[in-house]
Structure 1
Amino acid sequence: MSSTADKSKARPQQPQESSGWFTIPAPLARLFKKFPLLTYPPNELPARSPDIRNVPTLYVFISDEDALKGLPSFNPSCLKWQVSTAYLETGRGLVHRTNPTSQTFLKLAGVDFCLRSSNNHASPTGALPFLLPPSTPSDPKSQRPIPSNKLEQYGLDNGKSKLPESLGARIEAYESLIDHRIRNAWLYTLYLSPTNTKLLSNLYIVPATSSRPVRATILYQLKHAAELEILKSTSRDAINPADLYKGAKDAFRALETVLGDGEWFFGSPLPGLFDATVFSYTHLILHDGLAWENRRLNDILEEFPRLVSHRNRIFQRCWGSGE
């Protein structure tokens, strides 16, 4: 008995290995000891997203080249706000009902800003446009994005130009014409008209991916979402292009009537948000650089020379001559 006890005392005791879900297997543990993990510091922000912004940055649908030149966005919702100083489309559909004039409104308000190309998936708000105000690292509040529904107030608070007061209920009927009749015709022309499929792809699909299957999927989703949006707005079971274009023509006629012989809508001495809203569609409809194949909406708008002149005045005021 004593011999057995002595032998057990002589044996070195093996350490008990713990077991469980978070236990590193012994072979990996020995490997990590030879090659310890190295944690690298976080990457710096890219140059296009600086820590310190001296001027606001407006993120819109636009090419990188046009953003550097400060040119108008090809998306009505973004262009509305872009003009105010100087949508829409996601892989999941037309889910955003934002005002289409931000880029224009900011320019009219006299807000100095720079443009950046973006998309809804990259937006912290889930939609374009949005604006990042001037910021410093020591001010966390300055890092908060301003969504499209607050851009009007931002332009009024920070612009150098005094804009006309909001007309309130007076313009609701005319805004409805833009949001429904003109917008429906726009959606059909760009998204559902077969002859404009190439233009739609070049604007929203080709820049997003080089994968053909993904492009085909996005194209289907955009067209399907546009169809649903039009059917919902018209309360119809099927889309009738002739009715859509007739509705747009009636809307343009009403807008030209209310514009009258004045330079700006409702007799205002200065262009305001409603002018930017109208421009966001009239400019893009008349924009030859978009290479429209189906020009039905273009032909309709050209029947209203006062609206064409209004579009030209806004463009001249915000971007100067030429396109």
Structure 2
Amino acid sequence: MIEDDKQYFRGRGAQVNPHNKFLKDDYVKEHIEGIDDWEESDHKTTFLFENSKTIVNKVESPDVGMAYSLNPYQGCEHGCTYCYARNAHQYWGYSAGLDFERKIIVKKDAPALFKKFLEKKGWDATTISLSGNTDCYQPAERKFKLTRQLLEIALEYKQPIGMITKNSLILRDQDILQEMAKLNLCMVYLSINSLNESLRQAMEPRTTTAKQRLKVVEELSKLNIPIGVMVAPLVPGLSDHEIPAVLKAVAQAGAIKAGYTVVRLNGAIGPIFEDWLRKNFPDRFDKVWHMIQSCHGGSVNDSRFGDRMRGDGNISQMIRDNFRLHCRLNGLNVKEIHLNHSLFKIPGSQMTLF
């Protein structure tokens, strides 16, 4: 229940635009008569174009399950209130709040940079993860088609790719993914952390429905594209009770693997999520907030590698046990997926990677 509907930005996750810690000054409106040329924001999405030097980043964190990430967009219009990528938007000079959702940086030179990276001497075709930071199938992709171009290049070079998304736009590229799957060059994950449509609309306002995401799992599975699901993040007191239902549904749709994380609210995400939780669930705020704290040693964030994603304490252990039980009951995580790194070849060259 939203206490003050007039002050709520419908269709956005964050309801505030907190100060960017890397900026010295703020531009604010304190007196209506004081600034003649002030422009009120209508909260529409703006696309900003960036000429990057590189597009593939080596991932140093040992507990995120990827070695390299590839992100054609920074910021994400999906507006997930808990998104860990919000903090990174501050490096670009913007807020982790509303700016993250409405100021989308488009790396139009991503395809050329990707080719340049793959042709570097000594590249060993290690799996590269699309959407290591922001969703590569967010609404901007329908317009700019960068992700499709990147997949075309990956297929051409026989470069293994991992993907994670919560957008059904991925079905547009099923033709490329199917060809990659035939060569064992791709693994796709869908993010589904709740089947509750009301919760999704509030917490992930511009994402596709859980019902549609299950359809994506089913469609990709029928094409023999290996598909898994990330039930992430689980919010204790809001969505953790859905573990049995979510895992049963994704297994029936054809998923073969499943993973999860417990929500953690590091950096600017803490006040953004706290504000959202107070406005949307005032009657449950204290309970949910304290349950999150109990998973991270009394804080809402834990930066320790290994513990930060799963949490610790009694509630975290109950979540872990429940998740493992229902993965076992639904036959998930039985089959191992090992992508093929031996087919990599720079087009026009005579040498294949062995």
TM-score normalised to the size of structure 2? 0.28
Query: Going by fraction, where is helix more abundant, 1 or 2?
Result: 1
Q: Determine which structure has more spread, i.e. the larger CA radius of gyration.
A: 1
Query: Going by fraction, where is strand more abundant, 1 or 2?
Result: 2
